[in-house]
Structure 1
Amino acid sequence: MTQPPHSTRTLADWLLWMEQCHPSEIELGLSRVSQVAERLAVDLSASRVVTIAGTNGKGSTVRYLQTIYQLAGYRVGCYTSPHFLHYNERIELKGQPVSDAQLCAAFASINQARGDIALTYFEFGTLAALLIFSQEKPDLVLLEVGLGGRLDAVNIVDPDVAVVTTIALDHQDWLGDTREAIGFEKAGIFRSGKPAVCGDPDLPNSVVATAHKLNAPLYRTGYEYGWTDTSDYCQFNGQDVGGRSWVLSDIPRPMLPEANAATALQVTALLDLPLSNTVRRQGIAEARLTGRMQKLEYRGINFWLDVAHNPEAAELLAQRLSDKGGTAVIVLAMLKDKDRAAVVAALAPQVQTWHLADLQVPRGGTAAELAALLPSTAEVNLHGSVTDAIGELLQGEILPQNVIIAGSFYTVAEALSVLDRE
């Protein structure tokens, strides 16, 4: 193992060193992180904590909550992953990424405290977030689970409210190959006597059983809370901690998924941080998130960026495209260990022209592999990279009105770097 950076080294130096610190990218378990957190005296007791797990919808649920509480004047800390362009995006305070100096100082403290305990890249980042939040003491801390829940590093913290957004087959090598097994892992963030909010309409029995075993009050979409919508407006409903019903109506349809707005609003009814309904309405309307139906206009083209890296997310994207009417041009690049066939099948009815690209990262799949999943009659273009695909679209004689860019966080990150440079 290389030596850790000196105090004068940059954030890039620390990140490169952290990548080399552990022989595997993922090693689930709480003992290592717990020991180091104890040595660092991490203490979040001054903050309310919400932990968010789920296959899809974690990021938008975090963003709804962050937007609502910041509009109300609360200091909010957010820990999410992965990042798109800058590592600092993973840790936000008061709506801004933390500085390089804060991260470097946190990594130096973690490295000193860990002794001979080996930490993964993700564990270093999680401990940095927890240490910074411990020092800054925001009113509300939002922790997004990286993988699963029960054995994820963020689960060393006891949340005031635990959230499971959706449960679908993903990361089966780590979490199991059934929804029941995956649900058990995600429900591992529940705590005894603390509210658990679940946004999956078809909740596995393992999740319900875990809540009952812990005597954790369970709030389920379609039962204790929910939402309805017309073409333009939504109505949300739920229950507070005393079992009293609440309704929030005539809210303009949000940019992020309505189901996650409902989950976030249910969480607000359970936290003892007072809010007005005016702030709730404004927060739902204003919430935006990088890489989730994110619209960028350039040279007359509406670029819509959406990670959509698994079948459930692809189905949601396809529904959004259907709602807008017509078919779209799409740039698609995916990791080879994702269910590419199901993603392509979900998107196909809404796609007019495919621009398939190689994803030039570890585990990256190729354009040719994606093309093999499409019928021979499909209009397909192959590219060596996402950058090449966007470049060809921008150089065309007739520019498309709308272009979807999807398939992976890496796909969206590369697109963001190209469009920002352009």
Structure 2
Amino acid sequence: MQTLQDWLAHCERLHPKTIALGLDRVRMVSQRMGLAFRCPVVTVAGTNGKGSTCAMLESIARQAGWRTGLYTSPHLVHFEERCRLNGEAVAAEALVPHFAHVEAARQDVQLTYFEFTTLAILDLLAASGLDLVILEVGLGGRLDAVNIVDADCAVITSIDLDHQEFLGPDREAIGREKAGILRVGKPAIVSDPVPPRSVLAAAETTGADLWLLGRDFNFSGDKQQWAWAGRGRRYAGLGYPALRGANQLINASGVLAALTALRDRVPVTAQAVRNGLSMVDLPGRFQIVPGQPALVLDVAHNPHSVAALAANLDAMGFYPTTHAVFGAMGDKDLAVMLRKLDPLVDRWYFADLPTPRAAAATSLQALWQSQTARKDVASSTHSSPEEALRSAVAAADPTDRILVFGSFYTVGGVLKDGVPRLQARHLGS
């Protein structure tokens, strides 16, 4: 196997299951590899806000002059997006020897695609001479492959219902799984304003140093600026994060708490905080693409994130018509997601996605039709997000708004096809 694509194809064939939670197999292989980090590590778990939190941590640390490594999943377009070194996606060829290292160490151990690729990326990060490593937890926390790393600081973002078949039926059960990333004596930053009791209990049982929003750190602000205060540190006159959305101050508050907890090892200046927040970038999270019609991309794929998306769309102001391209996994709470956005959407474009887990476009359309009260709203089905977007662009006026949301496959499919080119073609420019 000579290329990254060769290795990814190999990983897809190794294990009969896409998801097989548990740390025994991946920990055994990591020990054979001698995987270890010499710099501070932050792990970030939660239902929503993980990507934004990771991006802000990375941006501020880089502005402070630190060499950073970031692991996130899944990717939007290219696998290499999952690993960033100093703010840049790693080159595909740089990953190849680390996949080979995992293969040599695993011997007869079966690893899932996620476990194998996680180990390869962790191996690259550990070998890169970094000052700070930020790891986004993929699913849950306690049994996720990322949790083989004993982090110096854990961040838990908002917790809501998602992946119930793996994590449990309610917020308490899900919170218990997320809290599995906490470590004895280490800072545990909880930015969920109303965390499940199970998270607080886990912190006490573990002996983690619990930082709670509203108790150990807090924020305030007006339309122009905001301020943060935590244990022994204050920031005033901060500009709002470049990431759009109603929840970004909550995420940013957790980020500043984590950096405050690590200030003895990774100190950052107030100017680095300001610059980092102003320059942070995260594609696919309430991303507004310049041009006409207005184009909004968001990987909201559960009821909590869709509710936040609805609030953000409402805050954008008036548009004559909102066209919505939607594709999602079949195991999501699709009925609730559709109900939350239906009042804001004037034309639906349901899309098939290139994975067996996805709900068929016809199923999405039938579900929407079964519960909508808006009989004047049209809908159509499409073989891909790209095709759905082309139809939306053809139907939209320059003053309209097009929303593309749902799975990473939905937004990634649109980004892969080149959004600005589609708009330019419709406008005749």
On whether the aligned pair clears a TM of 0.5, the verdict is yes
Matched, 1:263 2:254: yes
Aligned length: 409
Please give the alpha-carbon distance, in whole angstroms, between the structure 2 residues aligned to 1:229 and 1:223: 17
Out of 172, 175, 178, which is 1:183 matched to?
175
In structure 1, the partner of 2:27 is 34
In structure 1, the partner of 2:403 is 404
Shift of residue 138, structure 1, vs aligned partner:
0.7
Please give the alpha-carbon distance, in whole angstroms, between the structure 2 residues aligned to 1:295 and 1:410: 18
Contact 1:81–1:144 under 8 Å retained in 2: yes
In structure 2, the partner of 1:234 is 226
In structure 2, the partner of 1:296 is 289
Distance 1:348 1:396, change over 3 A: closer
Contact 1:393–1:399 under 8 Å retained in 2: no
Code of the aligned partner of 2:179: A
In structure 2, the partner of 1:330 is 324
Shift of residue 260, structure 1, vs aligned partner:
0.7
Contact 1:234–1:251 under 8 Å retained in 2: yes
Post-superposition CA distance 1:354-379 (Å, at most 9, x none): 22223342121133333332335251
Shift of residue 182, structure 1, vs aligned partner:
0.8
Shift of residue 250, structure 1, vs aligned partner:
4.0
Code of the aligned partner of 1:312: H
Matched, 1:344 2:338: yes
Shift of residue 398, structure 1, vs aligned partner:
2.8
Post-superposition CA distance 1:21-42 (Å, at most 9, x none): 0111111111111111111111
Once structures 1 and 2 are overlaid, which stretch shifts more, 53-62 or 373-382?
373-382
Shift of residue 253, structure 1, vs aligned partner:
5.3
3-state DSSP class of the match of 1:228?
strand
RMSD: 1.7
Matched, 1:321 2:313: yes
In structure 2, the partner of 1:392 is 391
In structure 1, the partner of 2:425 is none
- Give TM-score, length-normalised by structure 2: 0.91
Out of 150, 153, 161, which is 1:158 matched to?
150
Distance 1:399 1:367, change over 3 A: farther
Please give the alpha-carbon distance, in whole angstroms, between the structure 2 residues aligned to 1:228 and 1:319: 20
3-state DSSP class of the match of 2:330?
coil
3-state DSSP class of the match of 2:348?
strand
In structure 2, the partner of 1:11 is 4
Once structures 1 and 2 are overlaid, which stretch shifts more, 140-149 or 227-236?
227-236
Code of the aligned partner of 2:418: L
Once structures 1 and 2 are overlaid, which stretch shifts more, 218-227 or 124-133?
218-227
- Give TM-score, length-normalised by structure 1: 0.93
Shift of residue 236, structure 1, vs aligned partner:
2.3
Shift of residue 228, structure 1, vs aligned partner:
2.8
Please give the alpha-carbon distance, in whole angstroms, between the structure 2 residues aligned to 1:174 and 1:252: 36
Residue pairs, 1:22-421, within 5 angstroms: 22-44=15-37, 46-239=38-231, 244-252=232-240, 254-256=242-244, 257-271=248-262, 272-298=265-291, 300-327=292-319, 328-371=322-365, 372-373=367-368, 374-384=372-382, 385-396=384-395, 398-419=397-418
Distance 1:163 1:253, change over 3 A: closer
Post-superposition CA distance 1:85-112 (Å, at most 9, x none): 1111111111112222221111111101
In structure 1, the partner of 2:426 is none
